[in-house]
Chain A
């Protein structure tokens, strides 16, 4: 979800236009689910480099090992769910389906996915938060090889110039952001956009302070929102955070318009291309010294749709298993700037890819968005970003804005 833009979503509309038709016409046909198990259909949304070719290579290797040909289809992020729903109704789901982790329970609830235990796959050794995202009514519906989260990026030159060390607590964040705000440059940038990205960026602040998504009207969440409001009202962050997606935040940071930003490791390739930009990442600052940072888990899960063809499903399970071996997890993590989901691999990973240290540390304590709420998450995410926007625009105090959203 992290990278879906509002504009991209429009492409989904086109795909969706055919959905109503398919919804009624489907049911009877077996679709391409029949036939032999020599080719395996894969659907994912890795349509950008380097992800696209990294997965092309990995999938082909796994296909060779399983003795099958991989027939891969890649769609833009926003078109994936409409496509999956259309395929679900016409019974043409692929053999291996990639889903953004907060969508897994939603799709599992339809009955279109097979539990991985049917194929002897297990989640032993996986980080608990990662598994909870794939679990629906006690059963696990997919394996996620790598995960990611968000951290605090900082411009090393600007901080050094001001003699500031990267902030670790909210107070330090406020002080540092204020000190780094100068002329047209803001101290910090984040995304408070009217979209799930805005909610996703708010979660580490909310969760680290003990906020709970099952009741967002609690004082802990209000304090976290107060921090964001203070950063904007003091001028340390631009009011434009209300309209910035994470890609816009990255652009502001890259252009030197912000000295620090909240963002994820998928921005590394773009930031590395910026000449003269020296940056590093630390975990998201916590409310008090010694508190634990609790960030949300990102990344995608590989699931096994119910295609009704046992032989093909078995082969598909081999592919998913192959995508999750220790070696594949490590390779995917270093090539895609993500973190392996098996806890035992972390130390080795950080020693091999030191710049992922901050994110790897955050993943230890991170939670999934759908762990508590499941399919209710989209409705709550909407409430969260609406309250964030109401408070930052001054429409209500953080406490009132959250209470209104909770009641809404």
Chain B
């Protein structure tokens, strides 16, 4: 959408008043119509597959929408009742806190490790291309599969991680990575970081490739190498890409569902329950679709804020 908007804006502003007076078949107006015609499929697609579900979800949040509704079509309007129920639930505070911790923790981990790896791969060395493609593996494995494997790795008694730690003599008693209320969220964040590293590395690596080599050479002449070169050359030029990575990361992370369901199902004792998993549970496990939709809408609003930030960051990046 961003590019399309700027493209149409490029029509010289001075031409506008003249065009308004022209009949529709005049060449300029026809060009304008043609432009609109090109937009129609995209707009239709967006309205049907993005607009409609969102509107439907917003409406559902104000309705008593149950299994009954599917057959009878009756969904009584209940105003803000669903929101009141969902927001007043003692679980909401915990789910919100978990969502924030999960998102911030995941993004911080993914970004730092992703950036470190991207900088590392900037140097050319034998097999670097092969290694870089292997790095994409977590991205390529279906989430359900990686979830099952991690569940096995993190198992308290027979998990590979605890066997490894025990072998090194690092831990006396096996930590319950997925069964302790204090560790489960950390474990889930850890797995999500592992999944997110390829995305961060790939985008940041692309950004790094755009930093002109001459700048490093010039900086080196001025005595800026290593950390100082990164601080004063790489980082400022990478900023637009960083913004995009971070904002997209938040939008992707805040709605994570499959990994949490696969690893802990929101447990133990709701220690890994997020807004997304709670919304899923209300809708599809308890059949309280209205309340589930209300909670989903809270998530949509949060994502929307970050989506707007993304659009701004993206515009800067394009211009920058």
Chain B residues at the A interface, C-beta cutoff of 8 Å: 52-53, 56-57, 60, 67-73, 89-91, 144, 147-148, 151, 155-158, 176, 178-181, 257-258, 261-262, 264-271, 280-281, 284-288
Contacts and interface: CB of A to CB of B under 8 A. Distances in A.
B176 A194 contact: no
21 contacts: A10-B261, A10-B262, A13-B280, A13-B284, A20-B56, A89-B73, A107-B67, A109-B68, A111-B72, A194-B266, A194-B267, A196-B285, A238-B157, A240-B157, A240-B176, A243-B179, A243-B267, A243-B268, A393-B179, A408-B90, A408-B91
Contacts of B72: 110-111
Interface string A86-122: 1011000000000000000011011110000000000
Given A7-B147, A10-B258, A243-B178, A389 B70 contact: no
A88 B155 contact: no
Give chain A's interface secondary structure class. Answer: helix
Interface string A365-387: 00000000001001100100010
A257 interface: yes
A86 B91 CA distance: 30
Contact of B180 (A107, A110, A194, A393): A393
B148 A106 contact: no
B267 A242 contact: yes
Contacts of A112: 71
Nearest to A388: B269
A390 interface: yes
Given A110-B72, A240-B157, A242-B268, A382 B285 contact: yes
A31 interface: no
Contact of B284 (A23, A82, A111, A408): A82
Interface string A187-202: 0000001111000000
A9 B267 contact: no
A99 to B, nearest CB: 12
B77 to A, nearest CB: 16
A378 B281 CA distance: 10
A110 B70 contact: yes
Interface in A150-192: 184
A7 B262 contact: yes
Contacts of A9: 261, 284-285
A16 interface: yes
A20 B91 contact: no
A393 B180 CA distance: 7
Nearest to A111: B71
Contacts of B258: 10
Contacts of A375: 67, 287
Given A19-B70, A378-B287, A395-B269, 6 more contacts: A7-B262, A9-B261, A21-B53, A107-B67, A194-B269, A382-B286
A149 to B, nearest CB: 22
Contact of A88 (B71, B144, B265): B71
Interface in A381-408: 382, 386, 389-390, 392-393, 395, 404, 408
A389 B148 contact: no
